[in-house]
Amino acid sequence: MALIRAVSNKRYSNSENVILQFYRKFINFEYVKFLILDPAALPIITIFILLVELILNVFVIEKVPYTEIDWKAYMQECEGFLNGTTNYALLKGDTGPLVYPAGFVYIYSILYYVTSHGQNIHLAQYIFGVIYLLQLWLVLRLYSKSRKVPPYVLIISAFTSYRIHSIYVLRLFNDTIAILFLYASLNLFVDRYWFWGSIFYSLGWLKTIKQLFVCAGVQLILGAPFLSTYPIEYLKSSFDLGRVFDHKWTVNYRFLPKPIFENKYFHLTLLVMHLLMLFLFVKPIMTYFQNYVRLRELEKQFQPQLDKQNTKIRQTKPKKTKNRVQLESKDELTRDQQAFIKSFEKSLQRTSGLKERKKIDPEERLDQQNLAIHFDQCTQLALMPFFITNFIGVVFARSLHYQFYVWYFHSLPYLAWSTPYSLGTRYLLLGLIEFCWNTYPSTDFSSVTLHLCHFVLLAGLGYNVYKTLYQSNISQRQDEKVNESIDDN
């Protein structure tokens, strides 16, 4: 009996120790601060954001009235195609002719059947709610890999944007599906699935000429039924670069008189400014991509050795002698491996503008449970070119309608945290941009304010990327001099 009581007390004691350890590790101010402020905590916070967003979207769908804008027109356009019409000039809806490429027709044709010929709008809202959650997960996955933005910023951004929730589950705009494919392609790109990433990138609309051919091939395959029957009508309607937007819906050019807004020379001026700005960013963008590829290649070479080292550490208990960690025989890192561990974060800091982290000696790393390098942090170098070029396109767009907010909304925190501005200025920029997009109808003040925010953000991005490029060049020259000196010795 005493033995049973002793065993019972031991189990109770072990259970109490586990609870106490859990409490000490997770229920404390330091851990809460980690969850809120440290980008490394974003994978945990992602679960919280998605759960809250699920509840929030269900509430919006059930309690906020649906507003009809383009859904019926989408269904009418797809109905014409499903009835056998492949002439784009004849595919029309209540709001005008069909002006989207073939991918739109196929996707909304599926929705046409799933929603009982477009009549079950309530079901369509839940489908778009799922699209929103899926896209948000893809976005947060990129942020988690890059470790650039604190979790609290993304929490505030996700929960406070009425316009974004409205575009998805109250308006059912097709832009949301295009952006879903865009973020799917970016996730595939950073995971180095270049072929599949190019396919998704094309569906939403590169690394090499091969990927450009893949994108073109996808567009040709999707447009085959229309290109083989009425090619001129298809190209003219779905890729109409001369399309004139309605001034009453513009968010960014309300302050312009209608004649100027519709003037073709104004459109050409914006196009020239767009191309010029892309040209100014070509050099840093190419540098970012080159460094991303280089670091990924180093990861490919080094990660197997790191995994092997961790396996040995787990199998062999370290022996400490006079503040020095020693492993048995062949367990020590090579000189090149130690140099790489020491230079990895420094090179990433140079090329992405990161703050310099506290230096960790390789021998101190051996004293930890595992050796680890967060290679995915170099995702910053791949995301920045995509986000900047997309943002430039938004800044110099001929017109922005309310549904176009999804084009760059989810990249705004990343862009703001890639500028040299203070926290207060970053919050102010994001807040003012959100205010402008929630002003309906747009006013002279809201459209001018939106432009000012865009230009201030673009100026900060330009300053930072060129500063990073300058520092990278100086550091590279210094490294070359050191290497030459070593070679001479």
Q: How far apart are CA 466 and CA 444, in angstroms?
A: 33
Residue 310 has what pLDDT?
62
87-96 long-range Cβ contacts below 8 angstroms, 24+ apart: 87/229, 87/230, 87/233, 88/226, 88/230, 88/233, 88/234, 88/236, 88/237, 88/238, 89/230, 89/233, 89/236, 89/237, 91/237, 95/69, 95/70
Domain assignments of the chain as residue spans, ordered by start:
38-243, 248-303+372-484
**Banded pLDDT at 313 (limits 50, 70, 90):** low
Q: Which two tokens stand for residue 347?
A: 């090179």
pLDDT at 50: 96
Can you tell me the distance from the alpha carbon of 78 to that of 300, in angstroms, rounded to the nearest whole number? 46
Predicted local confidence at residue 289, as pLDDT = 80
Residue 460 pLDDT greater than 50, yes or no: yes
- State the pLDDT at residue 286: 85
Q: What is the DSSP secondary-structure string of 322-335?
A: TTEEE-SGGGSPPH
Other beta carbons within 10 angstroms of residue 355's beta carbon come to 5
The residues facing 180 across adjacent strands are none
Residue 97: predicted pLDDT = 82
Residue (of 73, 67, 69) closest to 170 by Cα position: 67
pLDDT one-digit tens code per residue, 420-458:
999 999 999 999 999 999 998 899 999 999 999 999 999
The answer to whether residue 319 scores a pLDDT higher than 90 is no
For the question of whether the overall pTM of this predicted structure is more than 0.85, the answer is: no
Between CA 417 and CA 424 the distance in angstroms is 11
Three-class secondary structure of residue 68 per DSSP? coil
Q: Is the pLDDT of residue 327 over 60?
A: no
Strand pairing class (319-321; 324-326):
antiparallel
Most confidently modeled of 7-16, 101-110, 289-298, 374-383? 101-110
- Predicted pLDDT at 415: 95
Going by pLDDT thresholds of 50, 70 and 90, the confidence category of residue 201 is: low
pLDDT confidence band for 357 (50 / 70 / 90): very low
